[in-house]
Structure 1
Amino acid sequence: MKKQLMNTFVFAALVVGAMVMIFPFYYMFITSLKQAAYVFTIPPQLIPKPATFENYAFIWKEADFGQYFLNSVMITIPGVLLNVFLSALTAYGFARYRFPLKEMVFSLLIATLSVPGLLLIIPQFQIISKFKFLMDNKLTVILTAGISGIAFNAFFLRGFFEGLPKEIEESAEIDGCNAFQIFWHIVIPMARPAIATLAIMSFLGIWDDYFWPSLILQSKHNWTLPIGIMALKGQHTVRWNLIFAGTMIAVVPVIIIYFLLQKYFVKTVAEGGLKF
């Protein structure tokens, strides 16, 4: 009986917690379906009447959100691939190879995690601004996104790589595989859950980034979705229905990526891939 009551209490607490987490997203969605006159009605409309998709049509065509969405995709996909590849290479090197001062170098790499990323913005911008072709260039954002967070990612992946059986790699080496072939064809497939988890985190970081792209991408044609959403905020008024419609467009790919890769994320946690 006590166990049943406890299970019921836990279930009820989880339901309440889920509702608290979901409600802001629901409110954002219904507001994106409202006309401007109905956004601040009292009592608030929890079901929009009338519901309209005019906000989505307006920002997609008139506010150039179609171009912003394409720019975000063009930056995020290669940025994630580069970031995951370099992070995996770094982590595998520290996990499998011996070289002088290995642990000291790794400790110095981890020590960089104590430095807030915003402190590096000014020197990075000063360096890049000296090369005019790097300013207002999507390639600059891709490259900087590709190398950002490697210290944390290497720390994250190293423990997972060290837990993989060496015998398979040694067998591949005997069969004639070189170091990169072992890494690409043997290690990466075995580390798929951890790689997928890293891809989710990298995707979120690059897709949602506003501050750095807003410094580099100066022309409106190169703006990403976060910059476009902030541009909807007027000097004297804020059209929340348009802002929330733009935010929903930005959120949908994140939800899709999470649902596609969530099984790998759960598997990584269950197998102890997160060794902090």
Structure 2
Amino acid sequence: MHFTFMTEFCTASLPAQAVRIFAGIFNEPDQPLFNVVPLYDWQASSLNILKEVRRGKLDGTAILVHHCQYAPTDGGEAASRYASNMGRSASHAVARDSLVLLAAAPAPAGGLWTKRAITSVGDLKGVRVCVFDFESGVLLRQLGAEPVTADWCRARESIVAKEMDAVLCSGDEATSLSLSQHFRYFSAVRYPRSACALLISARTFRRLSVTQQDAIRQAGRSVEYQLAAVAPYQEQIIFENLHNLGVHVDSRPAAELSAAFAGSPLVVA
């Protein structure tokens, strides 16, 4: 039996890691229970991928969702309990039982990518900051910045055109290679993180035997465990990677600046 799990993110991203771990559990040479085909860097939005998964045209996906608080997953048996944490499109699908949540893991903490050092809230005044959701824009406007909300494709075009002074997003490898070419400073303000969700189509899941469903649930728990095991080291890995790219990292920004970003759930790109 073949499954196709697709994510829009590149191979270095957390969603791609989740798909890769899940596929690796089953793609063993000795009579695998399933064959999972992982596909990365699909040039479409998460919403379109979710539509394909809900319809059963794709078997599963891994996406980044809008809030960071997840209870430990039970492999889909009560996935609707987590629906409020998944963003509108995904949560509605889980609540309607068209998606099954297999695993959830926090994404890397984010920060401010800038062209000059930002050491205080006052330094944000008038700065054009690219953000990826409404709440982030509200927060930045309160801090005196000029937020510009955009999706990642439009953001990249604006960055290349030098229409942005800063970007609020993660420093993981998926974004650092691109942003380090334009922004030489990264302030680790550590705003609340989004989460990565590994999802399977309920249509696909219901076609499986009880034994196969149990294997899928167990694989989801294994993905969650493995991602949680490396989470404490993610920040240090990110900082080292940024340093190697020539980015000046402020790993301990001023308390005033960190506190300004601490209370709002922002989206990681």
Same fold (TM over 0.5): no
Higher relative contact order (Cα pairs below 8 Å, separated by 6+ residues): 1
How does the TM-score come out when normalised to structure 1? 0.28
- Greater share of helix: 1
Larger radius of gyration: 1
Name the TM-score, length of structure 2 as normaliser: 0.28
